[in-house]
């Protein structure tokens, strides 16, 4: 993105007004989760009643959003679980297996192809999608359940599916209201109407404005959130933002030139942008996470790389994922607001 970052635009009502649609969409994240959960409740209850006594041989999460389901379900699912993001199913999938799919987009040929194949093979199929979408049309079958969603929001669609999977004993508890409350808390804290001095997303945007962000989350879900945040940052500013495990980020930190106290703080050479380590802290405290965090922080300290931390007080794993992701997306939005042409 051309131009420079002007932090005064983050307090300018006219500048913020130019991004009203984007900021409003972020603020309504919690409302979408609640609305989708309520509207899908009847269909979810019917699907549970139909399938509650059927224990599948394996669960296959198909489609492009399968990795989010994997991040939540792998530690919990009592049967073998596989994420299969491509347009085809694994060769062994058949009538003993459950295929689940998130299809928030109305037109998704790859997802439609995968679900049609699942129906053809006689799999039990549960799809969260719009009832009049391409995927719903291809999912029609004797062993298919449609959980209706309409907003196109990936997280709201995932919460509907995770609620169903919990009811049939294949996943952890996922409380839609708890997730929505976590999103509402972020929306309040990061509101464009909240002053820069007490707005964590605006502060983070300023910290990342002239840097190359390296985004890290320790747990599986925090790592997934890191990838979503990095994607939002790349789209916002049109330059690199890297998310990865500690072994992927450490070489970048260790290659950073040590900070020179004589550097010109007003220099404007993109090649000299320093990395900033952005830690998404979901309060995971197992030994591996502690060890990786320690290595990253030690390396950052030795090379003079600044560290920014986003944390959350949400209780459940999915709510923490939602909170961290939305916080990062708000920061990306404020990066867009602050950059001038």
Average pLDDT over residues 136-144: 92
State in Å, rounded, how far the first CA of the chain is from the last one. Answer: 8
Extended beta strands in the chain, E state: 59-62, 81-84, 98-103, 124-129, 144-148, 211-217, 242-243, 274-281, 306-311
Q: Which residue has the higher pLDDT, 90 or 107?
A: 90
pLDDT at 267: 52
Question: Do residues 61 and 151 share a domain?
Answer: yes
pLDDT at 269: 43
Encoded tokens for 50: 């139909």
Cβ count within 10 A of residue 171: 25
What kind and span of H or E run contains 151?
none
Question: Do residues 202 and 106 share a domain?
Answer: no
Query: pLDDT-based confidence at 74, cuts 50/70/90?
Result: confident
Per the domain annotation, does 46 fall within a domain? no
pLDDT at 271: 46
pLDDT at 87: 80
Question: Do residues 205 and 314 share a domain?
Answer: yes
Average pLDDT over residues 234-249: 93
> Model confidence over 172-228: pLDDT tens digits?
999 999 999 999 999 999 999 999 999 999 999 999 999 999 999 999 999 999 999
> Model confidence over 193-209: pLDDT tens digits?
999 999 999 999 999 99
Give the CATH number, domain containing residue 289.
3.40.50.10490
Residue found by looking up tokens 């929306």 in the block:
187
Percent of the chain clearing pLDDT 90 (strictly above): 83
Average pLDDT over residues 296-301: 97
| Position 61 pLDDT exceeds 90 | yes
Average pLDDT over residues 64-90: 90
Query: pLDDT-based confidence at 265, cuts 50/70/90?
Result: low
Phi-psi group of 169: left, alpha or beta (phi > 0 → left; psi -120 to 50 → alpha; rest → beta) = left
Helices (H) and strands (E) in the chain, counts: 13, 9
Domain range for residue 78? Answer: 54-174
Cβ count within 10 A of residue 15: 16
pLDDT at 3: 67
Pairwise CA distance, residues 339 & 319, whole Å: 31
Per the domain annotation, does 43 fall within a domain? no
Per the domain annotation, does 47 fall within a domain? no
**Count of structural domains, the chain:** 2
Question: Do residues 110 and 20 share a domain?
Answer: no
Question: Do residues 112 and 216 share a domain?
Answer: no
Closest by CA to 90, choosing from 68, 57, 128, is 57
Question: Do residues 150 and 244 share a domain?
Answer: no
pTM value is 0.93
Task: Flag the least confident range among 85-99, 295-309, 316-330.
Answer: 85-99
| Position 285 pLDDT exceeds 50 | yes
Closest by CA to 224, choosing from 180, 163, 284, 171, is 284
Query: pLDDT-based confidence at 12, cuts 50/70/90?
Result: very high
Per the domain annotation, does 48 fall within a domain? no
Pairwise CA distance, residues 88 & 118, whole Å: 9
Question: Do residues 294 and 263 share a domain?
Answer: yes
pLDDT at 237: 86
Average pLDDT over residues 308-324: 96
Cβ count within 10 A of residue 288: 11
Question: Do residues 308 and 236 share a domain?
Answer: yes
Average pLDDT along the chain: 92
Question: Do residues 197 and 331 share a domain?
Answer: yes
Pairwise CA distance, residues 256 & 51, whole Å: 55
Domain boundary (174, 198, 215) is at 174
| Position 341 pLDDT exceeds 80 | no
């Amino acid at each position: 993105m051309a131009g420079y970052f002007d932090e005064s635009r983050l307090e300018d009502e006219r500048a913020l007004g130019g991004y009203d649609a984007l900021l409003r969409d972020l603020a309504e994240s919690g409302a979408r989760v609640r609305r989708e959960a309520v509207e899908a409740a009847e269909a979810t209850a019917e699907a549970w009643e139909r399938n509650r006594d059927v224990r599948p041989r394996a669960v296959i999460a198909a489609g492009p959003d399968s990795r989010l389901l994997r991040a939540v379900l792998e530690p919990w699912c009592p049967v073998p679980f596989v994420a299969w993001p491509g347009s085809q199913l694994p060769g062994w999938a058949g009538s003993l297996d459950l295929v689940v799919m998130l299809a928030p987009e109305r037109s998704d040929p790859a997802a439609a192809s995968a679900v049609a194949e699942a129906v053809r093979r006689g799999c039990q199929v549960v799809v969260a999608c719009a009832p009049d979408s391409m995927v719903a049309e291809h999912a029609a079958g004797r062993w298919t359940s449609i959980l209706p969603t309409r907003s196109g929001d990936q997280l709201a669609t995932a919460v509907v599916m995770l609620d169903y999977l919990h009811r049939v004993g294949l996943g952890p508890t996922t409380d839609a209201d708890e997730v929505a409350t976590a999103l509402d808390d972020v929306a309040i804290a990061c509101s464009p109407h909240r002053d820069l001095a007490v707005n964590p997303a605006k502060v983070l945007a300023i910290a990342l404005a002239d840097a190359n962000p390296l985004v890290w989350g320790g747990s599986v879900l925090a790592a997934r959130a890191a990838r979503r945040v990095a994607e939002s940052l790349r789209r916002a500013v049109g330059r690199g933002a890297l998310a990865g495990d500690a072994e992927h980020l450490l070489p970048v930190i260790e290659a950073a030139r040590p900070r020179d106290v004589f550097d010109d703080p007003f220099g404007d050479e993109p090649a000299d942008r320093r990395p900033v380590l952005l830690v998404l802290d979901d309060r995971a405290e197992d030994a591996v996470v502690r060890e990786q965090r320690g290595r990253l922080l030690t390396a950052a300290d030795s090379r003079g790389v600044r560290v920014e931390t986003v944390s959350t007080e949400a209780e459940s794993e999915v709510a923490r994922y939602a909170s961290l992701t939305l916080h990062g997306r708000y920061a990306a939005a404020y990066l867009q607001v602050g950059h001038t042409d």
